[in-house]
């Protein structure tokens, strides 16, 4: 794309100055990087016999984020967390990041730097370095596509397709929080007044939920741990909502599932939000994506060892159900003790 291009009363972004600045700020080297930013392509070494794990994600302004409710730092952070979470769900260790960016006419280099600040803040705890990317102009809105490269020891990776009938289903952390956070951000300010003080959400809960939406934590350590100990027979990250992501495991593994709704891990903040808005928190937990928690299956023989070590490691896990034969379908056991088919209420593009 032709650069620099004119922007109405805004400083012109100079592509190569921008790339040089990104390189200087974020292009740190690790021993496995032979060539980082600055050539036609990056070169990395990989340890002999290790598997390479790759994932990519595209975020489009207006579809995945809204600049009225999220800062550029938040958007960068969330984009990186989504990719880290994909590697986590495979039981891999994330290592290298590539970032492709399309900047709208209103965009500034300051915003680009903020975006990278968020991305690298999510990556830093995992020692993931930026090794390349691409920069273009966009005629309409921001686009950010991240590619994350990682590794996994051979035969330790976690797949969606290996759950067996009778396995226990677990989730990490709590679910539904990010959706509640997103809904809070999208509420018109006046709406707060409609809630009498006794049902209003405390500032602490409100902030917790917004934080869960804007700054999700990928369960990288948990994914590595599940794969290294061979605890999980299958795994997926909850990016679109439990009711849909569970379906992926069931379809790929050719099993059915029974979910105990009473067991779903809900945070006190999510419960408080649901109560204050007269919603069922279970709906948030079943349809809310972007918590980036892991859903995984475990052989019942591993249950006590899994739960004991999780406790020692401080990994929050909850058993939410069991896999069943395919013909059972996917059913939920309601808090009233009745079974019903679990509807897929997860997030869908194009609908
Ligand atoms: P080419 O024309 O060969 O695509 P570029 O000029 O786009 O090369 O890129 C030069 C170098 O800068 C490459 O190493 C590329 O990976 C890196 N790069 C370009 N844009 C970005 C970006 N937005 N973030 C990180 N690295 C980038
Ligand atoms: Mg390029």
Distance from C-alpha of 167 to C-alpha of 165, rounded to nearest angstrom = 6
Structure-token pair, residue 187: 């509420």
CATH number at residue 103: 3.30.1330.10
Instruction: Give the pLDDT score at 8.
Output: 53
What spacing in Å lies between the alpha carbon of 49 and ligand 1's midpoint? 30
Side-by-side strand order, sheet with 93-103: 51-60, 143-152, 93-103, 129-137
Instruction: Give the pLDDT score at 12.
Output: 84
Contacts of 222 (CB under 8 A, 6+ apart): 88, 172, 294, 315
Confirm if 142 and 40 have CB atoms less than 8 A apart. no
Q: Are 49 and 112 contained in the same domain? A: yes
Q: Are 320 and 175 contained in the same domain? A: yes
Q: Are 189 and 214 contained in the same domain? A: yes
Q: Which residues of 225-254 are buried (b: 16+ CB within 10 A; e: fewer)?
A: bbbeeebbbbbbbbbbbbbbbbbbbbeebe
Which ligand 1 atom lies nearest to the CA of residue 26? Answer: 25
253 part of a folded domain? yes
Instruction: Give the pLDDT score at 1.
Output: 44
| Partners of residue 153 on adjacent β-strands | none
Q: Are 264 and 327 contained in the same domain? A: yes
Matching residue, tokens 């050539």: 39
Instruction: Give the pLDDT score at 27.
Output: 82
Q: Are 33 and 175 contained in the same domain? A: no
254 part of a folded domain? yes
Distance from C-alpha of 170 to C-alpha of 159, rounded to nearest angstrom = 15
Final residue in a domain of this structure, among 125, 152, 179: 152
Contacts of 82 (CB under 8 A, 6+ apart): 57, 59, 146, 216, 218, 239, 290, 292
Helical H segments across 90-164, by residue range: 109-123
Q: Are 240 and 284 contained in the same domain? A: yes
Matching residue, tokens 């018109």: 188
Q: Are 133 and 227 contained in the same domain? A: no
User: How buried is residue 155: exposed, middle or buried, by Cβ count under 10 Å (0-12/13-18/19+)?
Assistant: exposed
| Partners of residue 144 on adjacent β-strands | 59, 101
Final residue in a domain of this structure, among 91, 121, 152: 152
pLDDT along the chain (351 residues), means of 10: 53 88 87 93 93 96 93 97 98 97 95 97 96 95 98 94 97 97 88 58 96 96 97 96 96 98 98 96 93 98 97 97 98 94 83 64
Which ligand 1 atom lies nearest to the CA of residue 116? Answer: 24
279 part of a folded domain? yes
* Closest by CA position to 151, among listed 116, 119, 114, 126: 126
Instruction: Give the pLDDT score at 253.
Output: 97
Chain CA centroid to CA 166, Å = 27
Instruction: Give the pLDDT score at 341.
Output: 95
Which ligand 1 atom lies nearest to the CA of residue 99? Answer: 24
Distance from C-alpha of 191 to C-alpha of 345, rounded to nearest angstrom = 25
162 part of a folded domain? no
Q: Are 246 and 127 contained in the same domain? A: no
Instruction: Give the pLDDT score at 2.
Output: 47
Polymer length in residues for the chain: 351
Cβ(304) to ligand 1 under 6 A? no
What spacing in Å lies between the alpha carbon of 135 and ligand 2's midpoint? 6
What spacing in Å lies between the alpha carbon of 147 and ligand 2's midpoint? 14
Domain containing 137 equals 15-152
CATH number at residue 259: 3.90.650.10
Q: Are 255 and 188 contained in the same domain? A: yes
Distance from C-alpha of 154 to C-alpha of 90, rounded to nearest angstrom = 12
Q: Are 112 and 246 contained in the same domain? A: no
233 part of a folded domain? yes
Instruction: Give the pLDDT score at 28.
Output: 73
Radius of gyration of the chain (CA): 21
| Three-state DSSP state, 63 | coil
145 part of a folded domain? yes
Cβ(37) to ligand 1 under 6 A? yes
Q: Are 304 and 189 contained in the same domain? A: yes
Cβ(17) to ligand 1 under 6 A? no
Final residue in a domain of this structure, among 121, 152, 183: 152
What spacing in Å lies between the alpha carbon of 101 and ligand 2's midpoint? 10
Domains in the chain: how many in total? Answer: 2
Q: Are 245 and 307 contained in the same domain? A: yes
Distance from C-alpha of 37 to C-alpha of 16, rounded to nearest angstrom = 12
Name the residue of 1, 19, 22, 128 to mutate for ligand 1: max ligand atoms within 8 A of Cβ. Answer: 19
What spacing in Å lies between the alpha carbon of 53 and ligand 1's midpoint? 22
* Closest by CA position to 142, among listed 108, 169, 102: 102
């Amino acid at each position: 794309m032709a650069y620099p291009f004119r922007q109405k009363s805004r400083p012109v972004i100079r592509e190569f100055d921008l790339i040089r600045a990104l390189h200087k700020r974020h292009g740190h080297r690790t021993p496995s990087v032979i060539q980082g930013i600055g050539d036609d392509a990056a070169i990395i070494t990989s340890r002999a016999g290790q598997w390479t794990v790759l994932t990519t994600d595209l975020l489009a302004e207006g579809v995945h984020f809204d600049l009225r409710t999220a800062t550029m730092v938040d958007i960068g952070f969330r984009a990186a967390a989504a990719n880290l979470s994909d590697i986590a769900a495979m039981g891999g260790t994330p290592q290298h990041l590539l970032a492709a960016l399309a900047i709208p006419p209103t965009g500034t280099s300051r915003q680009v730097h903020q975006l990278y600040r968020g991305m690298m803040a999510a990556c830093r705890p995992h020692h993931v370095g930026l090794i390349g990317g691409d920069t273009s102009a966009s005629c309409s809105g921001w686009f950010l596509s991240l590619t994350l490269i990682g590794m996994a020891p051979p035969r330790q990776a976690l797949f969606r397709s290996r759950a067996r009938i009778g396995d226990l289903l677990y989730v990490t952390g709590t679910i539904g929080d990010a959706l509640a956070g997103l809904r809070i951000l999208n509420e018109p300010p006046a709406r707060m007044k409609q809630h009498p003080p006794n049902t209003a959400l405390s500032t602490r809960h409100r902030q917790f939920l917004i934080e869960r939406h804007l700054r999700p934590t990928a369960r990288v350590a948990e994914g590595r741990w599940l794969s290294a100990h061979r605890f999980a027979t299958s795994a997926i990250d909850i990016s679109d909502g439990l009711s849909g992501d569970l379906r992926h495991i069931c379809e790929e593994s050719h099993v059915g599932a029974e979910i105990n709704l009473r067991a779903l891990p809900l945070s006190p903040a999510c419960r408080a939000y649901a109560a204050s808005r007269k919603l069922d928190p279970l709906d948030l937990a079943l349809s809310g994506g972007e918590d980036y928690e892991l859903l995984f299956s475990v052989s019942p023989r591993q249950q006590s060892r899994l739960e004991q070590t999780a406790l020692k490691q401080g990994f929050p896990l909850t058993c939410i159900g069991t896999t069943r034969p395919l013909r059972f379908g996917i059913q939920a056991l309601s808090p009233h003790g009745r079974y019903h088919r679990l509807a897929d209420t997860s997030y869908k593009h194009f609908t």
